[in-house]
Amino acid sequence: EVQLVETGGDLIQPGGSVRLSCAASGFTVSSSYMSWVRQAPGKGLEWVSVIYIDGKTYYADSVKGRFTISRDNSKNTLYLQMNSLRAADTAVYYCARGWAPFDYWGQGTLVTVSS
């Protein structure tokens, strides 16, 4: 059974950093496109980043230069390093398998950026 479990969400001060993790089971992260999608409170879904099977990475303009997606094949885990955080980054962050479509989603982890 495919499972994705995100951890790492927290209350962060503006300008701060946090790293989200997404532990996968039931499939191999390195053999899949893997993405991060976020949802601000009461708002819609927003694609954040993707890592291709070959390791190429792409980002939404809103996070480019501040966020970094990566994976640890030995741990079968996806990461999102988030730096220079802003209030507008406050959201539930979902990891998802795939790249349009996203066929499996985790339950999400909440990142709140506030002083």
Partner 1 sequence: QSALTQPRSVSGSPGQSVTISCTGTSSDVGAYNFVSWYQQHPGKAPKLMIFDVNKRPSGVPNRFSGSKSGNTASLTISGLQAEDEADYYCCAYAGRYVVFGGGTKLTVL
- Catalog residues that contact partner 1 under the rule CB under 8 A: 35, 37, 44-47, 50, 58, 60-62, 94, 99-103, 105-108
- Complex with partner 1: residue 44 or 65, whichever CB lies closer: 44
- Complex with partner 1: residue 44 or 115, whichever CB lies closer: 44
Least distance to partner 1 from the beta carbon of 108, Å? 6
- Complex with partner 1: residue 16 or 108, whichever CB lies closer: 108
Q: Taking a C-beta distance cutoff of 8 angstroms, is the pair 75, 48 a contact?
A: no
